Amino acid sequence: MPESDQATPFLVRPIVTRRGPDPKQDRAARTKLLVLTAAAELFAARGFRQTSVKDVADRVAMTKGAVYFHYPTKEALAVAVVEQHYARWPALLAEVTAAGHGPLETSARLLAGAAAAFRDDIVVRAGARLQIERPQIDAELPTPYVDWTRLLAALLGRAEAAGELRAGVCPQAAARSLVAALFGTQQISDILHERSEIAERWAETSELLFRAIRA
């Protein structure tokens, strides 16, 4: 996949726990990730307002001060969790791209992988909930939906160039439709079944949508 398509979306970098020779830095990075994961578990289960920094500190057997050392406010914790939600996707993209399928099949497998992550990855789950609760969070959260839309529009643009798209299908419109469909599917599945059956629900929606756009 040409570099130009990959580089732009999801610019957030994952938290790196091995930062080289200094064990103190490694420990700090590991503690930072531990705190972030504990916050994600609580934000996913209770939401932003119902979670206190004390709750996070208790969950990792640390003092509030130790948590504040890594994240100065509860809002900063929420921003970090949402950023790590998006930092999950480049690795998934690289994994799916490495399989070497065409752009349309790559798009389908990428979205299926994302659907599973909404079920299995606590940071992805917490990030999705915090994005719903944006109005309650007094902080600059990453803009939702736009990176997925940009990435899928690029992939479907290449599918069009490769003759994989049905004549008349607009890559940008199809990208927006796929993002709206996965967003809706994961949201409904969360509320009704805590996303336990999201893979099945997304498979049926994906089959319908890709049948509509495939040449």
Q: Which residues bind ligand LUB (CB under 6 A)?
A: 114, 128, 131, 144-145, 148, 179, 182-183, 186
Q: How many CB atoms lie within 10 A of CB 134?
A: 14
Which CB, 57 or 86, lies closer to ligand LUB?
A: 86
Q: Is 146 exposed, middle or buried (0-12, 13-18, 19+ CB in 10 A)?
A: exposed
| Closest approach of ligand LUB to the CB of residue 57, in Å | 27
Residue whose Cβ sits closest to ligand LUB? 144
| Closest approach of ligand LUB to the CB of residue 182, in Å | 4
In whole angstroms, what separates CA 51 from the centre of its chain?
21
Which CB, 67 or 118, lies closer to ligand LUB?
A: 118
Give the three-class secondary structure for 165. Answer: strand
* Phi, psi for 102 (deg, rounded to 5): -65, 170
Which CB, 161 or 192, lies closer to ligand LUB?
A: 192
| Closest approach of ligand LUB to the CB of residue 101, in Å | 19
Which CB, 45 or 66, lies closer to ligand LUB?
A: 45
Give the three-class secondary structure for 174. Answer: helix
Q: Which residues of 80-100 are buried (b: 16+ CB within 10 A; e: fewer)?
A: bbbbbbbbbbbebbeebbeee
C-beta separation of 43 from 129 below 8 A? yes
Give the three-class secondary structure for 214. Answer: strand
Which CB, 28 or 139, lies closer to ligand LUB?
A: 139
